[in-house]
Amino acid sequence: MRLASSHLSAVAIARRVRAGEAGPLAAARLSLAAIARDEARVRAWSHVMPAARLEAMDPAGIAAGALAGVPLGIKDVIDVADMPTAFGVPALAPDAASFDACAVGMLRAAGAVPIGKTVTAEFAFKTPGPTRNPHAVGHTPGGSSSGSAAAVAAGMVPAALGTQTGGSMIRPAAFCGVVGFKPSFGRVFRDGMKLTCESLDAIGWYANDVEDAQAIADVLLGAPVSEAEGGRPLTIAVQLGNPRADLCSESRNEIARVCAALRAHGVQCVPVEAERETALLLQAHDVIMHYEFARSLAPVVERHGEALSAPLLRAVAHGLSIGAAEYLEMRAAQASLRHGWRALYGGADALLTPSTPGAAPLGLDHTGDASFNKIWSVLGWPCLHLPTAFNRAGLPLGMQLVGDWESDHALLSLGRKLHHLLVQQGE
């Protein structure tokens, strides 16, 4: 599931650098060349490191880490030292950050090379930036982590950081046809990130395959604790229903095809319903997100309201109208369901569910429907988008695997085990 054969694997880049088969800056040079070639079409970047600055870097600190020489894109709500953080609002004309965000610093310490800031929707909310879908430039790449997903899909970088409050990691992964991983809430340190929703915001990442996503997880989450392989058949719960979104026929057919492929390999696929819980969690997301978003952005609105979009201003006004009692009620619902995996899905190893209602819709003035993502953001459960096919128009299709609270490494391991079984032959 790669857009072009020129796409680089993060794991392969690091392996070659550590072995002395490639220079520590070689892959970053290729990334800058790819950006120069394709950025006018895709428009994924808000800031790109000048080539002279790259050449001035000390390669000695890059050559030995787990991500040695791997170029990265960083969503423009996360600080990178000596690069501006504009939050998707260029009119704010920010100064360059003095320090890396914690997650960026950890990746840099592992040898990765952050080469630029990727486009985000305005303050990671609704109003989209200029990024286009690399598969069809008239279609949305999703949001709010649009630039990060598109940069990976277009082969500009092998991996990029994004964030998710509602569906801002998984939806762009689905629309752009790349692997997207949102960890369990709180597993990645958020220091140096512009928080808009304290109880929901999570840093995630995009890659071309699950192996690369695992390599980044090993750095940001710590190495997994090895577990003995179980002898029982895998069980996947399958949840398709959502009270706020209708699943299109091609996505429904693709999930049916995937389930048939899983069953052919001995995996049990068990349909489940959680209508009451889904409705409650969607309500909780609306309340928690608006309440926290409004209070986070109120100082920005007060000082720079003229630079902000009407949808953002309306969201802040709505959030400020929500009372503390309603907010605390929804926080209590969030807490009560977060550890309810067994009650909802029994002993299932993971949940299979749509990432989006369908392929990327036409138009660049919106970022698509996040209804299939919001409940997992409220629960804080880890999510992994797996691209599996293309529709007749050449747009990616796929689905997400969801795991129990803090089962991040297990979910990635399962995704890596299953992904090659699910990709439609011939793609």
Are 70 and 136 in a shared domain? yes
Do residues 168 and 162 make contact, with C-beta atoms less than 8 angstroms apart? yes
Instruction: Please answer whether residues 48 and 28 qualify as being in contact, where contact means their C-beta atoms are separated by less than 8 angstroms.
Output: no
> Mean pLDDT over residues 304-333, rounded?
98
Please determine, for residue 5, whether its predicted confidence score (pLDDT) is greater than 90: no
Domain match, 177 and 43 both: yes
| CATH number where 34 lies | 3.90.1300.10
pLDDT by residue (tens digit) across 322-338? 999 999 999 999 999 99
Same-domain check for residues 64 and 112: yes
292-301 long-range CB contacts below 8 Å, 24 or more apart?
292/196, 292/197, 292/198, 292/199, 292/200, 292/319, 293/125, 293/165, 293/196, 293/197, 293/319, 294/318, 294/319, 294/320, 294/322, 295/319, 295/320, 296/195, 296/196, 296/197, 296/198, 297/123, 297/196, 300/123
C-alpha–C-alpha distance, residues 271 and 301, integer Å:
45
Closest CA to 320 of 348, 350, 283, 292: 292
Pair 155, 35 in one domain: yes
Marked catalytic residue, from 146, 148, 168, 296 = 168
Q: Is position 75 annotated as part of the catalytic site? A: yes
The verdict on whether 168 is a catalytic residue reads yes
Structure confidence by residue, pLDDT tens digits, 235-263? 999 999 999 999 999 999 999 999 999 99
Give the three-state DSSP class for 138: coil
User: How many domains, the chain?
Assistant: 3
Instruction: Please tell me whether residues 257 and 213 are part of one structural domain.
Output: no
The residues pairing with 399 across neighbouring beta strands, listed in sequence order, are: 386
- Cite the DSSP H helix spans in 46-89: 51-55
Give yes or no: residues 326 and 388 share one domain: no
pLDDT tens string 7-56 = 779 999 999 999 999 999 999 999 999 999 999 999 999 999 999 999 99
Q: Which of 9, 31, 144, 146 is catalytic?
A: 144
Catalytic residue among 31, 75, 377, 407: 75
Q: Quick check: is 427 in a domain?
A: no
* pLDDT for residue 210 is more than 60: yes
Which domain, by its residues, includes 413?
Answer: 235-274+340-422
315 and 265 in one domain?
Answer: no
pLDDT value of position 232:
82
**Tokens at residue 85, please?**
């953080």
- Residue 4 placed within a domain: no
pTM for the full model? 0.97
Tokens of 187: 């597993």
Q: Tell me the CA distances in angstroms from 61 to 39, 57, 70, one per residue in order.
A: 29, 9, 13
pLDDT for position 407: 97
CATH number at residue 240: 3.40.190
CA distance 360 to 358: 7
Q: Where does 49-158 show beta strands of DSSP type E?
A: 71-75, 113-118
- Residue that the structure tokens 């390669």 belong to: 59
